[in-house]
Structure 1
């Protein structure tokens, strides 16, 4: 019984925090890539980033040996904007020793300023540079709020 009350109290506390902050997610799954991104922004002026995480799978066989599957954290988010229905996220993976100097840049642009919505769409561009062969693709992305 106490466990149930603690869980309920936690959920109610999280619900109160959800009104104060924005939690956004974006995902895509097409012939080029599959990814999910989740970010949280404060509702105060400046919309400071609370957290960021994501995962990406590059489906191109030539690129999958270097960037087959990557996990992203806050340090990978190099540019972000969330205001009045508009969202921009730029994720940069500068590569580690396992990429041979190649870098990955994923940019998501979604929503429309002045038209906030719980669910919205946009585009993504994915670029891999510094490897054997340059790689650049674009696609559609679906986003929403939690």
Structure 2
């Protein structure tokens, strides 16, 4: 009997842990840019990043040769914060030979601390520097949890 209760308690604890991790996504599609970002954070102390990926299309024709399409992975996420309904993601692409020294910085700030929700909104800021023509854009972003 005790053995059965201990096994049941262990299963319930494991199930709670599995569902506690958060998967967040954000997207925007406006006149300046179109992007999607997806990240996962552990529920334990420190909210460690489990994974990150994303894609971006800059719609400005002047930026098309260097940043028309970019794919992001965990190494591009330079800053992240997810706590109690608030989300901050900063994606930095230092480019390379294909960008002729230009860099891209995308910052997403969404949600409101103390008010966690399944779907929430915020803003994004996109800057491209170091190229022939600096670029800056801002807009609204929609985020949610999976």
Counterparts of residues 1-146 of structure 1 (less than 5 Å):
19-146=19-146
For residues 103-146 of structure 1, the C-alpha deviation after alignment (integer angstroms, 9 at most, x for no partner) is 00000000000000000000000000000111000000000000
Q: Which has the larger radius of gyration?
A: 2
1:66 is paired with a residue of what secondary structure? helix
Displacement after TM superposition at 1:20 (Å): 2.4
Deviating beyond 2 angstroms after TM superposition, the runs of 4 or more aligned structure 1 residues are 15-18
Return the TM-score normalized by structure 2: 0.88
RMSD: 1.2
Return the TM-score normalized by structure 1: 0.88
Query: Which stretches in structure 2 are left out of the alignment for 5+ residues?
Result: 1-14
In the alignment of these two chains, the number of paired residues is 132
Query: Which stretches in structure 1 are left out of the alignment for 5+ residues?
Result: 1-14
2:98 is paired with a residue of what secondary structure? helix
